[in-house]
Structure 1
């Protein structure tokens, strides 16, 4: 579990997948995860997708400049366009600044 510092930027991506090109989507998602990790200011990621296609991915960035640099990354932009064309029925994107963060684990 991870705690994030106050001021960390969270980019919240909520989407529904189409039934098109699962293999291409999975390859692109893996590549984008690896690329994001290489970006200056990358802090972490949480992601889940239900059987109904609804997914939520939250990427965490050191600051707004790092989050914007990820948005503007040319390879990420190309994959975003492919997603709009093939892989997503819709998506919402929200950017928030973390004011407080904590975690909890059930004792064994």
Structure 2
């Protein structure tokens, strides 16, 4: 992922998956990852999911307008509705502005 700058917008999505339709979810998630990467202002994504179905996904955007455009994208909105109906027991979403960012790699 590209280095994050001061002012980068982080969209933090914390979700508890249901047991319904894991294959459909995997396909939808891959499609949304590809679609997000094509959007103006997209920087990257980090995502993890535990065996209990709890997941955290953080997407990074150059600015608030880019993050809002992704939120409002028609295909993303349709997939969000599908997630509410089928794949998620509950979720929370948090939007934050990055003020500092550090990277470290084992030599």
TM-score over 0.5 for the alignment? yes
**Partner of residue 93, structure 1:** 93
Unaligned runs of 5+ in 2: none
Q: Tell me the distance in 1 between the aligned counterparts of 2:26 and 2:82.
A: 13
**TM-score normalised by structure 1 residue count:** 0.96
SS in 2 for 1:43: strand
Shift of 1:9: 0.1
Unaligned runs of 5+ in 1: none
Q: Tell me the distance in 1 between the aligned counterparts of 2:6 and 2:19.
A: 38
**Partner of residue 80, structure 2:** 80
Confirm or deny: 8 A CA contact 1:2 1:103 kept in the other structure.
Answer: no
Confirm or deny: 8 A CA contact 2:4 2:101 kept in the other structure.
Answer: yes
Shift of 1:2: 4.9
List, as ranges, runs of 4+ consecutive aligned residues in structure 1 with deviation greater than 2 Å. none
1:55 paired with 2:66, answer no
**Partner of residue 70, structure 2:** 70
Shift of 1:3: 2.8
Q: Tell me the distance in 2 between the aligned counterparts of 1:103 and 1:43.
A: 15
Confirm or deny: 8 A CA contact 2:13 2:93 kept in the other structure.
Answer: yes
Q: Tell me the distance in 2 between the aligned counterparts of 1:75 and 1:2.
A: 25
Confirm or deny: 8 A CA contact 1:2 1:102 kept in the other structure.
Answer: no
